Structure 1
Amino acid sequence: MVETATANAKQEHYSFFKGVERNFDKAAKYTRFESGILEQIKACNSVYRMKFPVRIGEKVEVIEAYRVQHSHHKLPCKGGIRYSMDVNQDEVMALAALMTYKCAIVNVPFGGAKGGIRINPKNYSVFELEKITRRYASELVKKNFIGAGIDVPAPDYGTGAREMSWIADTYASLNPGDVNALGCVTGKPVSQGGVRGRTEATGLGVFYGVRELCNVVEDMKKLGLTPGVQGKKVIVQGLGNVGYHAAKFFAEGGSVIVGLAEYEGGIYNAAGLDLEAVVAHRKATGSIKGFPGATFFENSFDTLEQECDILIPAALENVINAGNADRIKAKIIGEGANGPLTPEADEILNKKGAIIVPDMYLNAGGVTVSYFEWLKNLSHVRFGRMDKRFSENQNASIIKTVENMTGKTVTDIERKQLLHGPDEVDLVYSGLEDTMIGSFHEIREAMQANPGVDMRTAAFIVAINKVGVAYEELGIFP
């Protein structure tokens, strides 16, 4: 009988943080830094474990929560807050460490952090969730673990814009007169200082990163694939924010979504699935089970083992491990989630010749656009406000000049397209695309400079070099 990834992880007593350290050590030998600096980069600087009481219904419930600041080489620290019964100190430390390396890879000037509350949000009403969230935020304020220049949380698994608005409001109420109060958290609703494009940012970043890999002719030739994402068969695990948007952008880019997996099971159709139809079916029935024309798998992990070119695990960590890695048929695995592959799975898949696009690069779209939101909050100016009309007026002048020179008139549709000045979301998408493309080639250059290393190790090399240089320039090592 095939065991689930969760069962395997528990059986092996897998430490997520030790897995991150193992990958770090694998890459560290390719860098020039002495052991002391490497130990400082690797260590978690601050771990805040808290328990606080909240009245739920007729009883008082003691809530367990965490906030970990992994690195202070740059401030503020940055990282999401997740609500899950799987939250523990090891997980939060690992995710905080990955945030440090992730920010370094995509050139976002933050140290890594992460937070978590050990609850199942489905077991609480909206009012109760608000009480828990606001109390958590006040605990962070007490210990100076939140602020636009200190530590800036964001959404993660089990949280969203609603929870971020509660945190921002709590912080502002406890810091009256702080003109940058909205910068204490990102992922807020647009009406509360959020930025357009943040919701789909991580999924879009996943698409941009895998697309850039697929555009490298040399790498595709090694895999026996044609360049580009067009026509490639894709399986996505997770229909949450990241998985849904990744699947959406792949489909729009010409890929064929052949498999979708969720906690209730998975579906597969080699001819392709209509993503929006699947989402509508799940909304109507509460499950993807029974979707017309698709094979259903009671064990959703079986879906990951079906034929495809690209596999995007975009749910939780450790879903591909020593127990199932050898049955994965995908030639490209793009880590949409944090830590979906264990180090053992890495070794097995690398030996099979697959290319693993690591989480610390691939799902950095969220923190990249969070950085844009933070900048917007500090500048107090919406992106595009200063130059949209100027661009449109300049474009109109160019069109008029061309028409006068050629004696021809552009169509109304062409005129509308050419006149369009950049909106906030256009600038956000452009900045994210440029970031993902530039960072991919930095990682690829590290692979070429260190023959034999895989993409994850190369990503760690890039991150360690940047964080190490930052520590040296701080002059804290007498």
Structure 2
Amino acid sequence: MSDHLEQGKKFLDTVLHYYDKAAEHTGLSKGLLERIRHCNSVYKVTFPVEVDGEIHNIEGIRAQHSMHKLPTKGGIRYSMEVSEDEVKALATLMTFKCAVVNVPFGGAKGGVKINPHIASEEMLEKVTRRFATELIKKNLIGPAVDVPAPDYGTGGREMGWIADTYMTFKFGDTNAQGCVTGKPVGIGGIRGRTEATGLGVFFGLREFFKFEEDTKKLGLSTGLRGKTVIIQGFGNVGYHSAKFLAEEGAKIIGIAEYDGGIYDENGLNIEAVDKHRRQTKSITKFPGATDIPDSKSMLTMACDILVPAALENQITVENASEIKAKVVAEAANGPVTMRAEEILLEKGITIIPDLYLNAGGVTVSYFEWLKNLQNVRFGRMGKRADEKSFDRIIGSVEELTGKTLDPAVRADITHGSDEEDIVRSGLEDTMILAYHEMRDALIAKPELGDLRTAAFYISIKKISLSYEMLGIFP
């Protein structure tokens, strides 16, 4: 078995192990648990694309894990490492991720075997549009059926191509823009989507560090200020996680990337690192920082919080015993294997699980989908009315007190919520409530043992309730 196929199988086995571990505590029937566990359908297609007179045969996969809620939802990744097991594992995670943050979607995922780093823009566009066409042919995409989003190797550009292809086939459908999320704002995207996953990671960590009884067990104080952080992966999720954590006062002492890492015990300036990366195409050789050629070794460096924000299977049985972080915050999908998790938990390390912590992306994708169905920008109807109301209140206070607010302060207080404000507020509320549900479940049933099992437990319970209310399993 080739390495990437073996990695995909290991990833799927890990996800199903976590599911089985939680399912034992639910008291649900074996048949219902089997129904929730298994992937509903997998579609594999090989399609030809001609570029510069040469025909390339491309493999695409779309997996729909659960249809207890519609549409199903999940990203499309572009990588030569894509495999059926990997896509099924990611689709399975999406089902429980949506449930844990109360987003009413079933789980899905897609993958296309292509290297986005070396393929030309023409090649990427033709592959994207053709894959979208193949999905349309089988009714595997649509605002009420299955809604893709960006993932590793894709972004707003590819989502725009998918949306345009779908709208060409579905001309006149006013909901057609909702066939995909993560689009550029100009074609139905939503403000706040770019930073959503990283911001969700920040909100989740901030919530964890509010509880003294939890942080005290780790020998840490409450709050993020002063906590040392190492981040693996400086893409969209890693960058925004680092940015928001640093703004809260955390100290980002290390960043690991595929071509090397950088370390500074005094803390890295995240904006300066990002500027350096954009100028040099690498984070290495950053002024004032120490280069770490073997970036994966940074996972075992001393820190308070380790944020794996790259790919799956990064913390394994080979390096888990060397992890020195007090908290492992899974910004990536499946970065800790099941055997590695056992080692980390035995060491007393807290794992904040992926199906909760990186759910900011799908949460804001849900908001984008709602925006597309409503065909109106969030905040458009109420922003000015709110500002006038706030202005009248401030005016009354000034009149009663005989004092006048500074114009800048007044403008800040009377500011009406625009789309980005509303999106961030909705994401913050989602992450706070979901964390409390997860933590409360662990307190009520201490035998669950850890946050991941608690997250799977409450997700399984919610999905089983959906089946019951649908009348499928009375």
TM-score (norm 1): 0.97
Q: Which of the numbers 219, 239, 247 marks the counterpart of 1:224?
A: 219
2:85 maps to 90
Counting only pairs closer than 5 Å after superposition, residues 49-448 of structure 1 correspond to structure 2 as 49-448=44-443
Shift of residue 363 of structure 1?
0.4
Retained in 2: the 8 A contact 1:205–1:436? Answer: yes
Q: Which of the numbers 464, 469, 473 marks the counterpart of 2:465?
A: 469
How far apart, CA to CA, are the structure 1 residues paired with 2:172 and 2:6?
52
Q: Secondary structure at the match of 1:121?
A: coil
Shift of residue 13 of structure 1?
8.2
Shift of residue 299 of structure 1?
1.4
Shift of residue 286 of structure 1?
2.6
Q: Deviation per CA, 1:206-255, whole angstroms, max 9, x where unpaired?
A: 00001100111110111111100011011111111100000000011111
1:34 maps to 29
Retained in 1: the 8 A contact 2:226–2:250? Answer: yes
Shift of residue 329 of structure 1?
0.8
Give me the identity figure in percent: 60
Q: Secondary structure at the match of 2:333?
A: coil
How far apart, CA to CA, are the structure 2 residues paired with 1:472 and 1:156?
32
How far apart, CA to CA, are the structure 1 residues paired with 2:432 and 2:104?
18
Retained in 2: the 8 A contact 1:266–1:302? Answer: no
1:3 maps to none
How far apart, CA to CA, are the structure 2 residues paired with 1:32 and 1:77?
26
Q: Deviation per CA, 1:113-164, whole angstroms, max 9, x where unpaired?
A: 0001011012211111100000000000000000000000000000000000
Give, as a single letter, the amino acid of the residue that structure 1 aligns with 2:288: G
Shift of residue 305 of structure 1?
1.2
**Runs of 5+ consecutive residues of structure 2 not aligned to the other structure:** none
For residues 51 and 183 of structure 1, do their structure 2 counterparts lie closer, same or farther at Cα, with a shift above 3 Å needed?
Answer: same
Shift of residue 97 of structure 1?
0.4
How far apart, CA to CA, are the structure 1 residues paired with 2:213 and 2:6?
40
Retained in 1: the 8 A contact 2:378–2:422? Answer: yes
Q: Confirm or deny that 1:460 pairs with 2:456.
A: yes
Counting only pairs closer than 5 Å after superposition, residues 12-51 of structure 1 correspond to structure 2 as 15-51=10-46
Retained in 1: the 8 A contact 2:5–2:83? Answer: no
Give, as a single letter, the amino acid of the residue that structure 2 aligns with 1:46: S
TM-score (norm 2): 0.98
How far apart, CA to CA, are the structure 2 residues paired with 1:149 and 1:121?
29
Q: Secondary structure at the match of 2:336?
A: coil
Of stretches 345-354 and 279-288 in structure 1, the one that deviates more from structure 2 is 279-288
Give, as a single letter, the amino acid of the residue that structure 1 aligns with 2:80: M
Retained in 1: the 8 A contact 2:46–2:59? Answer: yes
Q: Secondary structure at the match of 1:278?
A: helix
How far apart, CA to CA, are the structure 2 residues paired with 1:322 and 1:368?
32
Q: Secondary structure at the match of 2:69?
A: coil
How far apart, CA to CA, are the structure 2 residues paired with 1:195 and 1:11?
37
**Runs of 5+ consecutive residues of structure 1 not aligned to the other structure:** 1-5
Shift of residue 18 of structure 1?
1.4
How far apart, CA to CA, are the structure 2 residues paired with 1:397 and 1:261?
51
Give, as a single letter, the amino acid of the residue that structure 2 aligns with 1:459: A
Query: How many residues in Structure 1 have an aligned counterpart in Structure 2?
Result: 472
Shift of residue 32 of structure 1?
2.3
Q: CA RMSD in A?
A: 1.4
